[in-house]
Structure 1
Amino acid sequence: MMEAININHFNRHKITEADIIRRILSGEKELYEILVRRNNQKLYRVIRSYLNDEAEIEDIMQNSYIKGFTKLYQFKLEASFSTWLIRIAINEALARLKEKGKLYHISERAEELNKNTILEIPDKKQLNPQDKMIHHEAKQLLEKAIDQLEPKYKIVYMMKEIEGMSLKETALALDLTLSNVKVRLHRSKEMLKDSLFVISHDTHIFEFGFSRCDRITERVMENI
């Protein structure tokens, strides 16, 4: 496995994704660690749109990365690696749901949130202990609200609003039309109360922490 300092060197000098992939295909498979670390957070959030069990999510992440590595020669550089990888991960997640007999299951909790509910959203500029606790609780409320969305709305919301992917990237990754993505995104926002939507740009939502990032990266690199 590469030393961490070498990975930081590649990231600092902005080595392009295309260059990394070409070098991996030429035999420098240790460079795959860079792609894994760059995509861990995004892949975690995408898979979590379909499954809530953390062990299962990490298992699918690992399988997706390994499959991505073994099929890397099929990757066309016209699209981003993350978009291609997400397609693999979504297929893995759907296959897991199919195995569990839950592919088309829609929870009753996926009904639109009660618009009369009042939720206090903290001012993130105030960082005293009490406000930190309130913000943490508000973040949990947001995560719970997102989890209540139907999968087809949840995945679009997570990719576009939480992960910051463009509408075009989202449509490509999900194999949907741009107009369909827009409709689902609008619907997902309608399902979330306005006050929750205000804080949904918090990039700490559904975090994939450093220790977990290291763990999944090590597992992938050991198996390729």
Structure 2
Amino acid sequence: METTTGQATRQAAMGSPSDEEIVHRVCAGETALFEVLMRRHNARVYRAVRALLRDEAEAEDVMQQAYVLAFTHLDQFKGSARFSTWLLRIAVNEALLHLRKRSRLVALDGGADDALEAGMKRLDRPTLDPERRTAERELVRLLETSIDALPASSRMVLMLREVDGLSTAETAEVLSVSEDVVKTRLHRARALLREEWENRLGGQLEEVFSFLAPRCDRVVAAVMSRLGAH
């Protein structure tokens, strides 16, 4: 028989309440509903984290930590920005912290590109797991490789703006930079990709780094277990 918390989670998902409403309910004690927020935002959180780490397993670990941190500080979300922006900023900061721990790098800012890229080159290149190999077409795999080769700052902005569809202002807030910096980095990313991909990009960007159901379930289950909500 389905549990009461399971019924509440399913009903919340079906009713499509706003993120803000779900946050309020989670803070009021319906902790199981945090699963709805994770499932809504897993894909974009994954893309943002992976854009920095370029490693599948590490990305999932950082995602889990970011979600636990977001849950722990959920009462600090005041609604001045969209919940997705607030959550992405936490995830990006966790990914940067992970990089600093691994490579003793400073946080990503306007003057840190060279140091960050030097550290990123020391990281092993990720390998595609069977789930990804069966789900992605060759064009998407090649595009992912091209994006991975971009400088970290350009790669991050490209993922947030072009793949996840954040506005310039939202991207600037997530990365703690100015809107002009976002525009400059996005222009740089487009220029680096254009020569090879101007005739192939088309509508494929929305498929990049897809977050498929098995991975979604795995991350949700791990976080909810750590929170003791199931």
Q: TM-score, normalised by structure 1?
A: 0.82
2:142 aligned with 1:141? yes
Residues in 1 aligned to 2:144 and 2:161: alpha-carbon distance in whole angstroms: 15
Identical residues among aligned pairs (%):
38
Instruction: Call closer, same or farther: CA 1:12–1:196 in 2, change over 3 Å.
Output: farther
For 2:68, give the aligned amino acid: I
Q: Which residue in 2 is equivalent to 1:162?
A: 163
Residues in 1 aligned to 2:21 and 2:219: alpha-carbon distance in whole angstroms: 23
Consecutive unaligned residues of structure 1, counting only runs of 5 or more, are: 111-132
Residues in 2 aligned to 1:56 and 1:109: alpha-carbon distance in whole angstroms: 13
For 1:90, give the aligned amino acid: V
2:41 aligned with 1:39? yes
Residues in 1 aligned to 2:147 and 2:8: alpha-carbon distance in whole angstroms: 37
- The alpha carbon displacement at 1:194 in A equals 4.9
Deviations 1:125-159 (A, max 9, x none): xxxxxxxx9x8211111100000111111000000
- The alpha carbon displacement at 1:107 in A equals 5.1
Task: Report which stretch shifted further, 11-20 or 157-166.
Answer: 11-20
For 1:175, give the aligned amino acid: S
For 2:58, give the aligned amino acid: E
Aligned residue pairs: how many? 200
- The alpha carbon displacement at 1:212 in A equals 0.4
Q: Which residue in 2 is equivalent to 1:54?
A: 56
- The alpha carbon displacement at 1:50 in A equals 0.8
Instruction: Call closer, same or farther: CA 1:97–1:188 in 2, change over 3 Å.
Output: same
CA contact (8 A) 2:162 2:205 kept: no
Q: Which residue in 2 is equivalent to 1:223?
A: 226
Q: Which residue in 1 is equivalent to 2:208?
A: 205
Q: Which residue in 1 is equivalent to 2:197?
A: 196
Instruction: Call closer, same or farther: CA 1:108–1:200 in 2, change over 3 Å.
Output: farther
